[in-house]
Every structure is written in C-alpha cells, then in structure tokens.
Amino acid sequence: MNADEVFSEIREVNLAYLMLAQRLARRNPVEAQVRLGMSAELITIIGGLSAAQIVRLADSDVLLCGVGLQERSMLSALNDTLSRHDMQTMHAAMLLAQLPARTV
C-alpha cells in the first residue's frame, strides 16, 4: 500500500467517523458524549457543522478517531462478551462510560 492509498483510506475513515459523530450529536448529545468520549462543547460544535465543513475536516492525513480502549482489561472484557451473558456486555459498557472525555 502506497502513501496515496493510506491517505485516501484515512480520509474515508475520518469522513465516516465525523458523519456518525454528527448524527449522534444531533440525535442525542449526551449519548454522543458517552459513546464518542467527547466533551459537551465538542459535541455541540460537531452537531452544528455543515456538510462542507465535515468534508474539509475529514480531508486530513491524521486519523481523527482512535480506539477508546486504553486498558487491556477493557479489551478483554469486550472480547469475552461475544460468548457470554448480556450482563458482561453491560459491565464492559459501564467501564467504557467511566473513561474521561477526550479534548481536542
């Protein structure tokens, strides 16, 4: 994979992420904060962006989203939930919800 292909794929991921973030922000800002790990201020800004602004933001060689799992135990808990009871899924979601919001 050459540099142009990597750049193109990063742009696609950025655009998909920003569009999802905007839909969540407009539908339910509090849920968006929890799911995306963003501050209320950032959710408000993303919710108010135009389509052109979203496209311009996505047009970057820097990945705008990241994996929210910083601890191995959280990744393990989510992985284990694929074959276990729904209570474990709820526990994993609660662990993730306790993470501090990221700032930009």
- All domains in the chain, ordered by first residue: 1-66 (1.10.4000.10), 67-104 (no CATH)
C-alpha distances in Å from residue 38, one per residue of 2, 8, 96: 32, 25, 13
Identify the residue whose tokens are 């790990």: 37
pLDDT of residue 104 exceeding 60: no
Cα 26 from Cα 9, distance rounded (Å):
26
pTM of this prediction? 0.68
For 43-89, the pLDDT digits (tens) are 999 999 999 999 999 999 999 987 766 666 766 766 665 555 666 67
pLDDT at 46: 97
Percent of the chain with pLDDT over 90: 56
